Structure 1
C-alpha cells in the first residue's frame, strides 16, 4: 500500500476512534448522575469508598445526613462530571479504538506475531483491570486511616475534585503497577532475562517491590502499600515460574553445539546414526597399472602420424 493510502486509512481509523470516544463520553456524562438500564449512577459508584466511612469520620452538608462531596467553585461540579464522563467514555469505547488500532497494525504482522501481539494486549488489559478493581476495594481502608488520623482536631470535608483525583490516581497506579510481571515475561521470551540469573535474588526483588509500593502509593498509608506490594510479589513469582518453564522448554529445543565457545570444536557424534558415526571400511581393490610415459608419448606420436 502506498504511503498516501496508509495515511488515509490512519485518518479514517482515527476519526472512527474519536467518534466512539465522543459517544462514550456522552454516555459517561449522562451515567454520572442518572442510572440507565437499572444500573447505579457512576458518581455514586465512585464516591462509594468515601461514603463507606463512618458518618462521624466525614463532614455532613445535608439536613438528612446523606453522603455528599463538597464543591467550592461554580464550575467545579460541571468540570468534574465532564472529566469523569471522558474517562468513562475512554473505557466504554475501548473495544472500538483498540480494534481500530489492531486493524491498522495487523496487516504488517506475520501470523505468529499477530497471535503474540493479541495475547500480550489481552493480558495487559486484564492485568490493568485487576489492579484497578483491587484498588477500588482497598481504597476504603486507606481513606479511613488518612481521614481519622487527626479527627480529634479536624473534620474531613473532601471536595469532589480532590477526592476523584485521588481515587483515579489510585486506580491508575495500581493498574499500571500490575503490568510489571508482564514486562518480566516479555524480557524472558525475547531472551534478555533468564530464570537462572534472578532465581537467587528473590529477597532483593521482594524488597524492591515493597520500596516501589511505598513510594508510588498515592496516600502513603501502610494498608494500601502492603496490599500493592503483596499483590505484586505474587504476580512477579508467577512471572518467574513462567520464566523457569520457558527456559526449560527452550533448552530442550536448543542444540548442544550452540552452547559451545566459538573456538571450541563440537564433539563427534559417535553414536549409531550420528553425523560422524563410524562406518565400515570397504575392502581393498587392485589398482590398474599405469603405462610408462614413453609409451604414452609414442602412442601420441603414432596418432599424430
Structure 2
C-alpha cells in the first residue's frame, strides 16, 4: 500500500516563496513596533554611546567631541538609531521567524529543537552586541589616537552614532550565523562535511563580510569582527560533526523512520 507523502518534503518553489514572504512580513511588523520603543530609548542610548568620546577627552585633556553639523541631522540620526534599535530589540521575534522558515524542511522529530535554536541564537546575538560594546571604547581610542598633537577631533554625530550602532548590529548578526549553520546541518540541508570542505572560501567570504559590515574602512575593526566569526564558523562545524556522529550511533527513532518511509513513498 502506498503511503501518504510528506507535504513538507515536496513543497513547491512557489510555496517556499509564499512562506518566505510571510516570514519577512511578520519580521518587518515586529521590527517596526520595536522601532517605536527604540525612538523613546534614543536619549539614554545616545548618552551611553557618547560616553567613550567624553571619557577619552577627559583622559587626554583633548578636544574630542560629537558635533551635529546640519539642521535636520538630529532628527535623521534619531530615526536611524531607532531603526537599528528596532532590529536589536525585536531579535527574538525575527530569529523565530527565521527558524520557522527553515523548520518545514525538517522532519517532525527535528522540529522539537525550536527551543534549543532560540536558546542558542538569542544569547549569542546579545553576546555579540555585548562584545561589540566592550570593544567600542578601544576602537574609538585607537582611531582617535591617530589625531596629531595640537589638533582637534570633532566627530560628526551622524557618522559616529551610525558607526557605533552598526558595529553592535554587525557583531550580533555575526555571532548568530553559526547557529544557522548548525540548524541547516541538523535539517540535512548542508552536511558538516560541506561546511568543512569549503573552509577556505568561508574564510574569504567572512573577510569580505567583515569589511562590508564594519562601518569604517580601517583594517583594525574588520579584523576584530573577522576573528570571532572565523572561530565560531569552525565551532559550528564541530557541533554539526558531533551531532551527525551521535545520530549515526543511536537507534533510529520510530517516528523518524515512519516519516522517512512517507517521504520515500
- State the TM bucket, normalised to the shorter chain: 0.5 to 0.7
Question: Is the contact made by 2:38 and 2:81 (CA closer than 8 Å) also made in structure 1?
Answer: yes
1:42 aligns with 2:45: yes
Separation in 1 of the partners of 2:207 and 2:104?
Answer: 42
Aligned partners of 1:225 and 1:79: how far apart in 2?
26
How many corresponding residue pairs?
228
Alignment-derived partner of residue 191 in structure 2:
193
Given candidates 52, 58, 63, the residue that maps to 1:59 is 63
TM-score of the aligned structures, taking structure 1 as reference length: 0.57
Give the deviation of 1:168 after TM superposition: 1.9
Gaps of 5+ in 1: 1-6, 34-40, 61-67, 256-305
Quote the offset at 1:174 in angstroms.
Answer: 1.7
Counterparts of 2:81 and 2:184, CA distance in 1:
35
Matches within 5 A, 1:173-252: 173-189=170-186, 190=188, 192-195=190-193, 198=196, 204=200, 208=204, 211-212=207-208, 215-216=211-212, 217-221=214-218, 223-252=220-249
Q: For 2:243 and 2:101, how far apart are their aligned partners in 1?
A: 31
Q: Does structure 2 retain, via aligned residues, the 8 Å contact 1:57–1:151?
A: no
Q: Distance in 2 between matches of 1:239 and 1:123?
A: 12
Change (3 A) 1:131 1:96: closer
Give the drift of 1:76. Answer: 0.9
User: Between Structure 1 and Structure 2, whose CA radius of gyration is higher?
Assistant: 1
| Structure 2 residue matching 1:179: 3-state secondary structure | helix
Identify the residue that residue 31 of structure 1 maps to in structure 2.
41
C-alpha change, 1:115 and 1:76, in structure 2 (3 Å) is same
Q: Match of 1:157, SS?
A: strand
Note the alpha carbon deviations across 1:36-87, whole angstroms, 9 max, x for none.
Answer: xxxxx22112223333324448635xxxxxxx52111111112212332343
Partner deviation per Cα, 1:172-225 (whole Å, 9 max, x = no partner): 2222222332243234321633359838x87x5896488457634433445434
Question: Is it true that 1:128 corresponds to 2:129 in the alignment?
Answer: no
Higher helix share: 2
CA contact (8 A) 2:84 2:165 kept: no
Distance 2:221 2:37 in 1: 32
Structure 1 segments (4+ residues) deviating >6 Å: 14-17, 96-110
Q: Distance in 1 between matches of 2:139 and 2:222?
A: 9
Residues 141-169 of structure 1: per-residue CA shift (max 9 Å, x gap): 22222222132374211121111111122
Q: Aligned with 1:52: secondary structure?
A: helix
Distance across 1 between alignment mates of 2:179 and 2:51: 31
Structure 2: how far apart are the matches of 1:107 and 1:193? 17
**What's the counterpart of residue 163 of structure 1?**
160
Cα distance, 1:132 vs structure 2: 1.8
| RMSD value, Cα | 4.4
Displacement after TM superposition at 1:248 (Å) = 1.8
1:84 pairs with 2:88:
no
